[in-house]
C-alpha cells in the first residue's frame, strides 16, 4: 500500500489542525479506502524553510516504495507552501494560464472579483501537474521528485475532496495499491486516549488486519481505526462484524463515529425517547445551550435554559434554597443537584441538566481549586451528580464542563447512570 503523509501548513501551528481537522479526517478516510496507508500527520508553520523541511521529511524520495504527501494550506499560507514546494522539487515557479483561468471562472460563478492572491495561487513549479476539480473551484498542484510526489491541495473542503477523489485515488490504483481499507474515527468521552486505543487494539486479533491510534481532541479521545481487506466492501463488512466487540471494549464511553458530534447524538437520543430538557448553567454561561441548539431541529426537545451566574439568580429563578448555598457553596454537588431539579420543575420538562464550577483563573480554594466543576442531571427517577477537576485555563474549563454535562445527559438517556 502506498504510504501517505498528511501535512497542514498553518499560520498558527500552535493549534493542532485547527479548523482543518475535519477535512484532514475526511481526506485520511478517503485515501485509505482507495488503497493508501496514512502513516502520519503533522502541522507546520507557514514559512518556506519549515514547509520545505516538512515536505522533505514526509516524502522520503529515496525510500524503496513510492510515497505520496498530501499538503493542505489555508489562504494565508498558500504562497509559502508553493515556494516551499518549488524548492523541494528543485524547479522554478512559473505562472500557469490554466490555473489563472480556473480561478477566474470560480470567482465568476460566485459573482465576485478575482482575488488579489489569484496570481500567487496560479504559480506552479515548472513541470508540475495542475489538479483541477471537475466541478470547478481552487486548483491543486502535484509535483514529483524521484519516487515521491507531493499534492498541494486547497483548504476549501469541497475542492480538496474532489481533487483527492478524481486525481489522487486513480494514482493510488495505478501505483499498484493492493486491497482496500476502511478508516473509522471512534469518538469517546471519559477515557484517556491511550486507554481507548489499547481497548480497541485488543479487539484486533486473529485474522483481522488493522491498527488503532488515538489522539486527544478537545477533551475527547478519538481512536482512528484502520481495517484492511481485499475490497472496500469486505473492509466495510469487517468493521460491521467488529462493531459489537468494539462496543463491549469501549463501553458507554464510545458515543459516535467519524463526524458525529456529541450534541447531535444527545439530541437524537432525546428525540427518539420523546424527552424534553431544560438547562441551568452557571460557569459555562450558556455554552451547553449553544452546543445543543447548534443542531437543527433541537426545538423538538430543548425547552429553555437558565443562565444563573449569581447566587441570587440561582435562588430566584431555580428555587435553590439560600441555606443550601450558605452551607455547601454554589460550587457543590448539592447546589448542582438543586439547580438541575429546579430547572426541570420551572420548565416542566422531563430532564434538567445543570453545571456549576470555578472556571478560573481565580476564585479557587484548597478544598475547591480552580477547575472544580459539578454537573448534574435530574429526571423522574431522581438525580445524578458528577464532580470533575480540570486545569486553570478558563476557556478550556468552560468547554470541558459543557462536554461533560452533555455526556452525563447522554449516559442518563441510555440508562447507564
Q: Would you state the pLDDT for residue 35?
A: 76
Give the number of other CB atoms < 10 A from CB of residue 240: 9
Mean pLDDT of 278-304: 97
Q: 238: pLDDT confidence band, cut at 50, 70 and 90?
A: confident
- Percent of the chain at pLDDT > 90 equals 53
Residue 339 CA to residue 343 CA, distance in Å, equals 6
> What confidence tens digit (pLDDT) does each residue in 168-202 have?
988 887 654 455 667 788 999 999 999 999 999 99
Average pLDDT, the chain: 88
Residue 175 CA to residue 162 CA, distance in Å, equals 20
Q: Which residue has the higher pLDDT, 259 or 290?
A: 290
Strands 129-131 and 140-145: antiparallel
Shortest CA distance to 242 belongs to which of 257, 229, 227? 227
Q: Would you state the pLDDT for residue 10?
A: 80
Point out the least confidently predicted range of 32-36, 63-67, 99-103.
Answer: 63-67
> What confidence tens digit (pLDDT) does each residue in 342-374 have?
999 999 999 999 999 999 999 999 999 999 999
Q: Is the pLDDT of residue 230 over 80?
A: no
Q: Is the pLDDT of residue 226 over 90?
A: no
Give pTM, 2 decimals.
0.68
Q: Which residue has the higher pLDDT, 38 or 398?
A: 398
Q: Which residue has the higher pLDDT, 262 or 28?
A: 262
> What confidence tens digit (pLDDT) does each residue in 99-158 have?
888 778 777 777 777 766 677 778 889 889 989 888 877 889 999 888 789 999 988 899
Ordered by where they begin, the domains of the chain are 2-174 (3.40.980.10), 180-257 (3.30.70.2860), 263-414 (3.90.950.20)
Cell of 349: 420538562
Q: 279: pLDDT confidence band, cut at 50, 70 and 90?
A: very high
Torsion sign (Cα): 342, 348, 350, 351: negative
Q: Would you state the pLDDT for residue 104?
A: 81
Q: Is the pLDDT of residue 276 over 90?
A: yes
Q: Is the pLDDT of residue 301 over 60?
A: yes
Give the sheet arrangement for strand 148-154, strand by strand.
Answer: 36-45, 2-10, 67-73, 148-154, 140-145, 129-131
Q: Would you state the pLDDT for residue 40?
A: 83
Q: Would you state the pLDDT for residue 177?
A: 45
**Secondary structure E strands in 20-176:** 36-45, 67-73, 93-95, 123-125, 129-131, 140-145, 148-154
Q: Would you state the pLDDT for residue 314?
A: 98
Mean pLDDT of 394-410: 97
Point out the least confidently predicted range of 74-83, 278-287, 330-339.
Answer: 74-83
Q: Would you state the pLDDT for residue 160?
A: 93
Helix, strand, coil distribution of the chain in percent, nearest 5: 45, 25, 30
> What confidence tens digit (pLDDT) does each residue in 325-347 have?
999 999 999 999 999 999 999 99
Residue 164 CA to residue 180 CA, distance in Å, equals 16
Q: 209: pLDDT confidence band, cut at 50, 70 and 90?
A: low
Amino acid at each position: 500500500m502506498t504510504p501517505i503523509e498528511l501535512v497542514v501548513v498553518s499560520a498558527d501551528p500552535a493549534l493542532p489542525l485547527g479548523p482543518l481537522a475535519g477535512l484532514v479526517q475526511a481526506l485520511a478516510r478517503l485515501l485509505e479506502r482507495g488503497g493508501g496507508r496514512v502513516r502520519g500527520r503533522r502541522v507546520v508553520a507557514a514559512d518556506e524553510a519549515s514547509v520545505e523541511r516538512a515536505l522533505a521529511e514526509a516524502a522520503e524520495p529515496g525510500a524503496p516504495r513510492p510515497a505520496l504527501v498530501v499538503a493542505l494550506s489555508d489562504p494565508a499560507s498558500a504562497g509559502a507552501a508553493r515556494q516551499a514546494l518549488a524548492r523541494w522539487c528543485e524547479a522554478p515557479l512559473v505562472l500557469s494560464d490554466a490555473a489563472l483561468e480556473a480561478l477566474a471562472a470560480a470567482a465568476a460563478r460566485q459573482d465576485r472579483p478575482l482575488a488579489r492572491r489569484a496570481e500567487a495561487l496560479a504559480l506552479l513549479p515548472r513541470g508540475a501537474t495542475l489538479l483541477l476539480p471537475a466541478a470547478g473551484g481552487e486548483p491543486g498542484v502535484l509535483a514529483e521528485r524521484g519516487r515521491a510526489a507531493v499534492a498541494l491541495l486547497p483548504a476549501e473542503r469541497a475542492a480538496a475532496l474532489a481533487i483527492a477523489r478524481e486525481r489522487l485515488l486513480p494514482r493510488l490504483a495505478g501505483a499498484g495499491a493492493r486491497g482496500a481499507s476502511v478508516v473509522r474515527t471512534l469518538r469517546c468521552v471519559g477515557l484517556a486516549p491511550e486507554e481507548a486505543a489499547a481497548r480497541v487494539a485488543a479487539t484486533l486479533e486473529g485474522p483481522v488486519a488493522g491498527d488503532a491510534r488515538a489522539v486527544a481532541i478537545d477533551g475527547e479521545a478519538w481512536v482512528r481505526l484502520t481495517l484492511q481487506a481485499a475490497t472496500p466492501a469486505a473492509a466495510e463488512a469487517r468493521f460491521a462484524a467488529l462493531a459489537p466487540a468494539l462496543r463491549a471494549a469501549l463501553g458507554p464511553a464510545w458515543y459516535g463515529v467519524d463526524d458525529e458530534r456529541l450534541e447531535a447524538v444527545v439530541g437524537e437520543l432525546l428525540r427518539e425517547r420523546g424527552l424534553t430538557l431544560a438547562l441551568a448553567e452557571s460557569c459555562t454561561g450558556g455554552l451547553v445551550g449553544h452546543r445543543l441548539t447548534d443542531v437543527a431541529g433541537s426545538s423538538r426537545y430543548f425547552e429553555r435554559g437558565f443562565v444563573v451566574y449569581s447566587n441570587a439568580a440561582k435562588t430566584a429563578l431555580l428555587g435553590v434554597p439560600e441555606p443550601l448555598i450558605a452551607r455547601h457553596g454554589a460550587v457543590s454537588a448539592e447546589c448542582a443537584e438543586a439547580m438541575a431539579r429546579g430547572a426541570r420543575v420551572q420548565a416542566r420538562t422531563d430532564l434538567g441538566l445543570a453545571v456549576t464550577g470555578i472556571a478560573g483563573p481565580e476564585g479557587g480554594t484548597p478544598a475547591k481549586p480552580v477547575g472544580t466543576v459539578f454537573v448534574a442531571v435530574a429526571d423522574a427517577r431522581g438525580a445524578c451528580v458528577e464532580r470533575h477537576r480540570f486545569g486553570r485555563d478558563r476557556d478550556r474549563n468552560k468547554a470541558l464542563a459543557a462536554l461533560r454535562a452533555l455526556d452525563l445527559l447522554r449516559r442518563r438517556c441510555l440508562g447507564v447512570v
